[in-house]
Amino acid sequence: MTSQASSQEAPYLDIARRKQASRLKALHTPSTISVTVPSHLLPNDPPTPSSGPQPVHHIPGRLLSATDNEITSLPLPSLLHRLRTGDLTAETVCSAYVRRASIAQQLTNCLTEPLFIRALEQARKLDESFAKEGGKTVGPLHGLPVSVKDGFNVAGYDSSLGLASLCFKPTMTNAPLVELLESLGCVIIAKTNIPQTLSSLDSVNNVFGRTYNPFNRLLTAGGSSGGEGVLVAMSGSAIGFGTDIGGSIRVPAMCNGVFGYKPSVGRMPYGGQQLTSVQGLSRTSVQAVAGPIARSMLDVELVMREIVPRASLFAEDCIPAPRFLSVGAGPRGSNSRHRYGGMKLRGSGAHGEFVIGILRSDGNCQLLPPIANVINEVAAALRQHSQRYNVRVVDLPTPKAWTRSQSVMSKLMSVDGGATMSAMIKETGEPLVPWMETRFKHGGKPQPLTRVAEIQAQREQLEREMIRDVWGVKTDEHGRKTRGVDAIICPLAPHPVPEIERYNAVGYTSSWVLFDYPAGTVPIRDVKESDLELGQELGSDLKVLSSWDERSRELWDEKKTDRKVYLGSKLSVQCVTARLEDEKLINVMKLVSEVVQGRGRAFRGAKM
């Protein structure tokens, strides 16, 4: 006989229904600016191969007015200029982005907390201040609509992380990053979806459901900042802010064809988020960072230039930085196009050349053909323009330290045992989502301090080896040290953007967090049919390097994967610089964007 307790549904189910109802109400409030997507434009869910990719990225443009489309397509410098001159009001801009964000939500399920009423009230206050002060803006980012990952606290709203146990428990204070953004004049329009435990590279949880890739619903949108990647790609936010510890900014950027920028620790406020472990424990292991996801590197540079010099005033986890100004950047308001067009970079070469090393494998996974192709294309394009940009491109062998780093990173990320997260999941009877079923263990315990010290000692050894083997630091007969490499270009993953639940190796992104190297995603092009090598298998002489490699190869095995699913998906490369060389990373990413995509990509058709 079934007991009464066992016949009752798990508590999380009712909480999820109520939370989704609350979100739906917020999505269409106020009704004066809400947009309902017609049923015939909504994709089929859940997606199946028979339905095809069902791209939806183009649909908002069909439903919005010409004015809304113009506003939401403006590059940040142009948008801010029009706000600064009074040509556009903050409320007009906010309304346009709110409408596009609401459509993006209906098509991709990318939002957790639509902050539309709050945002419009804030925009009106900016307009009132602008009028009262005779056209003076509140800050350099006056009226800029932005979004943040769900974990960042916004007072009066949940930071539920997609966990039922955290729903309907609004936070009391703003995260330092939220306070900093608003002090600059930004308007926060929404919080975005994430995966259960924040440790998945596929954004799905039991409260809000799955976020879908707007270009191909059969493929993952990435994680853990998956909602941010999708919303920015759909132009539902002028710029978004995520967090990254294993690739959680860079992977969603890769999956959605936008730019993702992971700075060094201390450059942007990270604190003020919903805790998932004992407070302070993260400082014993490896620290996550916050960073932007954007539609252009010009947008990333503009926002970082305003955030970084002020960050230490708002957050104890940031280092003082009097300025953040990359090569070629002119004064605010200058014609930004002059920052490109053949900027010369000086570096470590014998004649001052900027030396870029190409890393093709981490030693744990072989590259599948589309990834190998795009890395080779970027290297060739840089070599072709080497004189114009004063660049020298060199091929680097795989450092043994890079190969070993994924194992050390995994150990450090699990030193807390996951007990706090486990308790929150169990509290309301939630099951683990599919990707986490074999990766998350309940009942874990924090590692003893002596064990943490052992792992940190392993990390230190790897850091020393990377200085020698990647950055080419050498010592002459007088004890003077010189460096041989200024930046790295490498893959973000050994495979293309995979199908839902099939993301595999994270070593190409997580390792750079272990070393605290700033790293970023630069979109290059779409997958084309020639990349698929249909009917051809990987060379039989290629040795299987690891269990990760074995699973990665399944994404290419035509008995297990229809390679045509990758057609039209996004191909990107990763740029990396040494610790705290964040400004240099901006320059490298701009360089790659300009050389490979041309000035149109770097500026998105900017008009100043």
Which residues are known catalytic residues? 149, 224, 248
* Per-residue confidence (pLDDT) for residue 573, from 0 to 100: 98
Residue bearing tokens 């680097």 = 396
* Per-residue confidence (pLDDT) for residue 108, from 0 to 100: 98
* Per-residue confidence (pLDDT) for residue 129, from 0 to 100: 98
Distance set, CA 44 to CA 54, 58, 256 (Å): 8, 16, 20
Return the higher-pLDDT residue of 547 and 342.
547
Q: CA–CA separation, 227 vs 220, rounded Å?
A: 11
* Per-residue confidence (pLDDT) for residue 324, from 0 to 100: 82
Q: CA–CA separation, 601 vs 297, rounded Å?
A: 9
Residue 347 near residue 484, CB atoms below 8 Å: no
H or E element that contains 113: strand 111-114
Q: How confident is the model at residue 598 (pLDDT cuts 50, 70, 90)?
A: low
369-423 pLDDT, tens digit per residue, is: 999 999 999 999 999 999 999 999 999 999 999 999 999 999 999 998 999 999 9
Residue 487 has phi, psi (to 5 degrees) of: -155, 165
Distance set, CA 74 to CA 25, 34, 67, 376 (Å): 29, 22, 11, 32
Q: How confident is the model at residue 343 (pLDDT cuts 50, 70, 90)?
A: low
Q: How confident is the model at residue 7 (pLDDT cuts 50, 70, 90)?
A: low
- Mean pLDDT across the stretch 227-256? 98
- On the question of pLDDT at 602 being above 50, the answer is no
- On the question of pLDDT at 603 being above 60, the answer is no
Terminal C-alpha separation, the chain: 74
As a whole number of Å, the CA-based R_g of the chain is 23
- Mean pLDDT across the stretch 429-440? 91
* Per-residue confidence (pLDDT) for residue 608, from 0 to 100: 23
Return the higher-pLDDT residue of 607 and 589.
589
* Per-residue confidence (pLDDT) for residue 339, from 0 to 100: 41
Name the residue type at position 566: Y
Residues linked to residue 289 through DSSP beta bridges, in sequence order = 244
Residue bearing tokens 């001159």 = 85
DSSP letters spanning 536-549: -PPPTTS----HHH
Q: CA–CA separation, 237 vs 576, rounded Å?
A: 26
H or E element that contains 37: none
How many other CB atoms sit within 10 Å of the CB of residue 335? 10
Both tokens of 155, joined, read 């007072």
- 422 phi-psi bin (left φ>0, alpha ψ -120 to 50, beta other): alpha
- Mean pLDDT across the stretch 319-343? 54
* Per-residue confidence (pLDDT) for residue 325, from 0 to 100: 67
Residue 114 has phi, psi (to 5 degrees) of: -70, 115
161-211 pLDDT, tens digit per residue, is: 999 999 999 999 999 999 999 999 999 999 999 999 998 899 999 999 999
Residues linked to residue 210 through DSSP beta bridges, in sequence order = 204
- On the question of pLDDT at 490 being above 70, the answer is yes
- On the question of pLDDT at 349 being above 60, the answer is yes
- On the question of pLDDT at 599 being above 60, the answer is no
365-375 pLDDT, tens digit per residue, is: 999 999 999 99
- Mean pLDDT across the stretch 516-529? 98
pTM higher than 0.85: yes
32-86 pLDDT, tens digit per residue, is: 898 999 999 999 999 999 999 999 999 999 999 999 999 999 999 999 999 999 9
Full set of structural domains in the chain with CATH: 10-42+60-594 (3.90.1300.10)
89-111 pLDDT, tens digit per residue, is: 999 999 999 999 999 999 999 99
Residue 540 has phi, psi (to 5 degrees) of: -65, -15
Q: How confident is the model at residue 439 (pLDDT cuts 50, 70, 90)?
A: confident
CA atoms within 13 A on the CB side of 24: 8
- State the SS3 of 151-220: CECCCCCCCCCCCHHHCCCCCCCCCHHHHHHHHCCCEEEEEECCCHHHCCCCCEECCCEECCCCCCCCEC
Burial (CB count within 10 angstroms: exposed 0-12, middle 13-18, buried 19+), residue 392:
buried
Helix (H, G, I), strand (E, B) or coil at 118: helix
Q: What is the pLDDT of the chain when averaged over all its residues?
A: 92
Q: How confident is the model at residue 281 (pLDDT cuts 50, 70, 90)?
A: confident
